[in-house]
């Protein structure tokens, strides 16, 4: 199905199934993320991921987020997702509700022990206690995907509005030629 098939009243609808395919493709080489699924409802995004730290040690992380600040233009492409409650971490029947923050160690010697796939994941995610920010310009293959789908329009594409619908994100795109 072409990208134009997802137009709704002049807006672009990005269905959760497409986002889940993209997330799974992105996580293929990441040994830490065994499964990831995004569910979109009006006003709320639910992300469930099964993470593994070894062959026998896995845990499930459940996040509920909303959509707040975003920018999508030729210079900046990011979205902020405020958490709508504590993060739920499930491990062998134990459910832990907590806040979550990821801080990268600036010492390259210390991070040498950290798996490369996990470091690459953290390049485009900023995880704070109350929100997660995704920097799309840092996601490997994202610009190439847009270039393939949108061609020359990519440099002039901006998003003026984002909404969460039933199983979709509704994007109001605009083209600005400067």
Is 178 inside a domain boundary? no
The rounded distance, in Å, linking the Cα atoms of 127 and 115 is 18
pLDDT digits (tens, 9 = 90+) for 91-134: 988 999 998 887 776 665 555 556 666 666 677 788 888 999 98
Is 177 inside a domain boundary? no
Give the pLDDT score at 44. 96
pLDDT digits (tens, 9 = 90+) for 13-61: 888 998 898 888 877 777 778 889 999 999 999 999 998 877 788 999 9
Is the confidence at residue 8, as pLDDT, over 70? no
Give the pLDDT score at 26. 75
- Name the residue range of residue 58's domain: 3-171
Give the pLDDT score at 1. 45
Domain count, the chain: 1
Is the confidence at residue 12, as pLDDT, over 50? yes
- The 3-state DSSP class for residue 148 equals helix
Is 12 inside a domain boundary? yes
Give the pLDDT score at 2. 45
| Per-residue pLDDT band at 145 (split at 50, 70, 90) | low
DSSP string for 83-138: BSSPEEEEETTEEEEE-------S-HHHHTTS-HHHHHHHHHEEE-SSEEEEEGGG
Q: In percent, how much of the chain has pLDDT > 70?
A: 74
Is 85 inside a domain boundary? yes
| Per-residue pLDDT band at 139 (split at 50, 70, 90) | confident
**157-165 and 168-175 beta bridge pairing:** antiparallel
Is 98 inside a domain boundary? yes
Give the pLDDT score at 7. 54
Is 176 inside a domain boundary? no
Is 112 inside a domain boundary? yes
Is 41 inside a domain boundary? yes
């Amino acid at each position: 199905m072409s990208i134009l098939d997802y137009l709704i009243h002049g807006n672009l609808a990005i269905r959760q199934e497409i986002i889940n395919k993209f997330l799974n493709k992105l996580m293929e080489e990441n040994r830490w993320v065994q499964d990831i699924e995004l569910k979109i409802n009006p006003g709320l995004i639910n992300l469930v991921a099964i993470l593994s730290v070894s062959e026998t040690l896995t845990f499930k992380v459940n996040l509920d987020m909303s959509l707040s600040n975003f920018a999508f233009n030729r210079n900046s492409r990011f979205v902020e997702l405020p958490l709508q409650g504590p993060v739920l971490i499930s491990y062998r029947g134990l459910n832990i509700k907590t806040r979550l923050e990821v801080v990268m160690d600036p010492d390259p010697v210390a991070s040498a022990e950290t798996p490369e796939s996990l470091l690459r994941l953290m390049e485009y995610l900023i995880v704070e206690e109350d929100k997660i920010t995704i920097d799309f310009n840092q996601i490997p293959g994202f610009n190439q995907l847009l270039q393939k789908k949108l061609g020359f329009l990519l440099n002039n594409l901006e998003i003026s509005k984002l909404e969460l619908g039933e199983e979709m994100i509704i994007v109001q795109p605009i083209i600005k030629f400067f």
